[in-house]
Chains A and B, each alone.
Chain A
Amino acid sequence: MKNIIIILISIILTGSVFADELNVVTTYPYIASIVEQVGKDKVNVFALAKGEWDPHTIIPKPSFIAKLRKADILILNGAQLEIGWLPPLMRQANNSKIQVGTPGILDLSKHVELIEVPTAISRAQGDVHPDGNPHFHLDFKNIPKISTAIAHKLSEIDPVNKATYEQNNNAFLENYYQKEKEWTAALEKLRGTKVIEYHKIYDYLLRRVGLQLVGTIEPVPGISPTSRHIESLEKIISSNDVKYILQDVYHPDDASKYLSSKHNIKLKIIPHDIGAVSNTNNIFELFNEIVRRLIGD
């Protein structure tokens, strides 16, 4: 019994004594990459989900509870993208710092403008998000808003390093604006191009680039395509000059492949997050790869 108590006490102590870095847990890898840029060596960051998974349905592994237990800050995408997996993990983590309503939580969706906010809600429309489309990070102009919100949050929780966070964020932004100019210029030739996407995950990107969305492979969000829906897409294709089908890495691609080969439309796999495809190890590489895939043949 004595030994057990000593072991337990030492676990408690080692958990807190070596915690001079800020423990930041993020739900998705893209957030972790931005935190790394802003926090650098002052933070220890961990992303729960992997970039190759469907962001709506993450398997809530118990190891995530251990990460949340030690978190000083939890940064989430918000707009109900995590509603299907995160709340029970937060409850089980027994960490008073990251409960809803405490300063330890940052909801990024509150710092950007959401599009496609539905006026009427029914689950007959599929997996609808009442607050609007949650995939806002794929608009590359939203990234500076996100990094600035992160810098403010890190400064609020760790005021001693406020100047460092601001400095890091400014350095990041300078770099980022440079890249953003290159991406905008490269994508300019796509303006007005008609595309189909699998799920409404690229809508923010399409708006930014000026791509015109004429249909989705899913009849409604979260529901796989039916043959009738594919027929209606074929009608759209025959009366529109659809150039590309955009598909994520996690949905089955048979419907997209069928339409692609039958109507001779290029199928493009577009990574939605870091790690979805190779060569997307940070936020810069993610957009480099998205741009490369969009403009490439």
Chain B
Amino acid sequence: MNKLPFVLIAFSILINVNLSAQTEQQSGDDPFSQSKFVPDISFILDVSYLYRDIKNDDYNLFEVPGLIQSTLEESAHGHEHAEMNSRSGFNLNYGELVVASTVDPYFDLFGIFHLSSEGFGIEEGYFLTRSLPLGFQIKGGKFLSSFGRINEQHAHYWAFANMPLVYKSFFGSHGLSEIGMQINWVAPTDFYLMFGGELLQGNNETSFGADGFQDLSGSIKVSSSNAPNLYTGFMRTSFDVDNLTVLAGISGAFGKSRLNHGIDTDAPDGHAVYEDAKILNANLTLKYIIESYRDITFQTEFLNKITKGDLYYKDSIGTTMKGDISKDQSGLYSQLVYKFSQYWRIGFRYDLLMKNEIVRNSSTLDLPDFMPQLSSMIEYNPTEFSRIRLQYNHDRTKYFEDNLKINNEILLQINLSIGAHGAHSF
């Protein structure tokens, strides 16, 4: 990735802000002053201290069998990772720069930039329409898909420091973040009812891929997609019963996967898949408001991934072979968060990867299919702009050479935001 343009953009934003602040001070009578048009700008910093009872070097070798490759293997296949809370010791998880404003009577524009030690990335850059009739809205650009419940939320809004395992397994550590278009429609009903669909390029690191590949000898070749490669559809509904709010949703993502794990290298385990992939989601959130500063929230999501297609791999002498592969994998998370004062929350989360069926060339792989993780957290929010969180994870999903490696983690996370940062949704 060429980082220079992004750095230049960031610089020019900062310089502009600085200049307009100066112009305002210098003269109120500049007929061309544009200082009132400065968009909302905010910066969020997330850092943590992690203690893990496993050494970093050992941890990097662990995998979640059939679902998440070891960090080492991923980087060997060219995936650079800025994963959050990944190392024992201090972690700089991200600095997030958010710029947002209304473009004109027809559009709002949002830019969310992630600055990590690896580079400057456009996390999101999208527009929203403001004036479509009949309850329609179009979103376009790069954005976090509205698939599921937690996917479109930014990390600093989550109730726990890390992403639910099933999301990480199916979409990687950045979630389903895609380039494309979304249309959604809110029904004019007394309760909340929303339908939407997305047409996306389909370049997810784990489940969908648009880039083709070929092996070293050129004997096999899968061409790149020439059109959007991924479709999603979603529906949400919500209603209140007294002080209880119920929000339920279903969604699906359907696309083609072209995933190359080193078939174009001389690595003996290099392989690639070209398959149809389908991920389904059902989610439910219940929030009971006890009083202004106290509430209890239960949130759960279930995901199922089904794929079927071609597997390209190498035989013992390095010749590329074509076989078939199919997967049927499921996972869920359930969490309970109790906000017991204006400033404090506690929460528990149960993550479970519960179905892990991979059939390769008609033989079923022997994979663990009950992999849980327990997390608990306590959080202090001195104001709405700062948060300190202590979290404990008991992780029974990591394996090394088919042996379970139980992993215990404690992390202390601090998340701060400055500037004009927009409010969050439910």
A residues near B, CB below 8 A? 8, 11-12, 14-16, 52-54, 57, 59-63, 65-66, 69-70, 83-89, 91-96, 99-101, 123, 126-127, 222-224, 250-252
Given A52-B292, A54-B293, A59-B426: A66 in contact with B189 (beta carbons within 8 A): yes
Docked-complex contact B423 and A86, CB < 8 angstroms: yes
Docked-complex contact A66 and B137, CB < 8 angstroms: no
Chain A: CB-nearest residue to B237: A62
Binds A, one of B52-60, B124-132, B361-369, B400-408: B124-132
Docked-complex contact B133 and A96, CB < 8 angstroms: yes
Give the Cβ gap from A199 to chain B, nearest Cβ, in Å: 11
Docked-complex contact B105 and A250, CB < 8 angstroms: no
Interfacial chain A residues near B33, Cβ < 8 Å: none
Counted as pairs of residues, one from A and one from B, with CB atoms less than 8 Å apart, the total is 116
Give the Cβ gap from A263 to chain B, nearest Cβ, in Å: 25
Docked-complex contact A65 and B130, CB < 8 angstroms: no
A62 to B237, CA, bound (A): 8
Docked-complex contact B292 and A53, CB < 8 angstroms: yes
B186 contacts A by Cβ under 8 Å: yes
Interfacial chain A residues near B236, Cβ < 8 Å: 62
- What are 29 A-B pairs with beta-carbon distances under 8 A? A12-B188, A14-B188, A15-B189, A52-B291, A54-B292, A60-B424, A60-B426, A61-B238, A61-B426, A62-B238, A62-B247, A63-B192, A63-B240, A63-B245, A65-B238, A66-B186, A66-B192, A69-B186, A83-B423, A84-B423, A88-B425, A89-B425, A92-B186, A93-B186, A94-B137, A95-B135, A99-B130, A101-B102, A224-B342
Chain A: CB-nearest residue to B385: A123
Give the Cβ gap from B385 to chain A, nearest Cβ, in Å: 6
Chain A: CB-nearest residue to B40: A87
Interfacial chain A residues near B418, Cβ < 8 Å: 123
Give the Cβ gap from B379 to chain A, nearest Cβ, in Å: 16
Interfacial chain B residues near A15, Cβ < 8 Å: 187-189
B158 contacts A by Cβ under 8 Å: no
The 8 A CB mask of B404-425 against A (1 = contact, 0 = none) is 0000000000000010001111
Docked-complex contact A63 and B187, CB < 8 angstroms: no
Within residues 318 to 376 of chain B, which ones have a CB less than 8 A from any CB in chain A? Answer: 341-343
Interfacial chain A residues near B426, Cβ < 8 Å: 59-62
Interfacial chain B residues near A57, Cβ < 8 Å: 292-293, 384
Given contacts A61-B240, A250-B291, 6 further A-B contacts (CB under 8 A): A57-B293, A63-B245, A66-B186, A99-B131, A224-B343, A250-B292
Pick from B132, B238, B423: contact of A96, CB under 8 Å: B132
Pick from A52, A91, A123, A250: contact of B383, CB under 8 Å: A123
Docked-complex contact A250 and B293, CB < 8 angstroms: yes
B287 contacts A by Cβ under 8 Å: yes
Which 10 residue pairs of A and B lie closest in terms of their CB atoms, listed nearest first?
A15-B188, A62-B238, A250-B292, A96-B131, A62-B192, A66-B192, A53-B292, A94-B137, A88-B425, A54-B292
B residues near A, CB below 8 A? 102, 105, 108, 128, 130-137, 184-194, 236, 238-240, 245, 247, 287, 289, 291-293, 295, 341-343, 382-385, 418, 422-426
Pick from A59, A84, A95, A96: contact of B289, CB under 8 Å: A59
Interfacial chain B residues near A60, Cβ < 8 Å: 423-426
Give the Cβ gap from A201 to chain B, nearest Cβ, in Å: 13
Interfacial chain B residues near A52, Cβ < 8 Å: 291-292
Give the Cβ gap from A6 to chain B, nearest Cβ, in Å: 14
Interfacial chain A residues near B245, Cβ < 8 Å: 59, 61-63
Given A52-B292, A94-B135: A59 in contact with B287 (beta carbons within 8 A): yes
Docked-complex contact A94 and B425, CB < 8 angstroms: no
Chain B: CB-nearest residue to A49: B292
Interfacial chain A residues near B291, Cβ < 8 Å: 52-53, 250
Docked-complex contact B192 and A65, CB < 8 angstroms: yes
Chain B: CB-nearest residue to A68: B186
Interfacial chain A residues near B385, Cβ < 8 Å: 123
Interfacial chain B residues near A99, Cβ < 8 Å: 105, 130-131
Interfacial chain B residues near A127, Cβ < 8 Å: 383-384
Interfacial chain A residues near B135, Cβ < 8 Å: 69, 94-95
Chain B: CB-nearest residue to A100: B102
Docked-complex contact B292 and A11, CB < 8 angstroms: no
A91 to B130, CA, bound (A): 8
Docked-complex contact A222 and B190, CB < 8 angstroms: no
Chain B: CB-nearest residue to A92: B425
A100 to B343, CA, bound (A): 31
Interfacial chain A residues near B185, Cβ < 8 Å: 94
Interfacial chain A residues near B343, Cβ < 8 Å: 224
A85 to B137, CA, bound (A): 20
Chain A: CB-nearest residue to B425: A88
Give the interface centre of B240, B341, B384, B426 by most chain A CB atoms within 10 Å.
B426
Give the Cβ gap from A235 to chain B, nearest Cβ, in Å: 25
Docked-complex contact A94 and B186, CB < 8 angstroms: yes
Give the Cβ gap from B312 to chain A, nearest Cβ, in Å: 38
Interfacial chain A residues near B132, Cβ < 8 Å: 94, 96
Give the Cβ gap from A240 to chain B, nearest Cβ, in Å: 28
A88 to B163, CA, bound (A): 23
Interfacial chain A residues near B191, Cβ < 8 Å: 63, 66
Interfacial chain B residues near A8, Cβ < 8 Å: 187
Docked-complex contact B188 and A91, CB < 8 angstroms: no
Pick from B192, B239, B295, B384: contact of A59, CB under 8 Å: B295
Give the Cβ gap from A99 to chain B, nearest Cβ, in Å: 5
Interfacial chain A residues near B108, Cβ < 8 Å: 91
Chain B: CB-nearest residue to A127: B383
Docked-complex contact A252 and B137, CB < 8 angstroms: no
Docked-complex contact A223 and B190, CB < 8 angstroms: no
Pick from B105, B383, B424: contact of A223, CB under 8 Å: B383
Docked-complex contact B240 and A252, CB < 8 angstroms: no
Interfacial chain B residues near A87, Cβ < 8 Å: 422-423
Docked-complex contact B424 and A88, CB < 8 angstroms: yes
Interfacial chain A residues near B423, Cβ < 8 Å: 60, 83-88
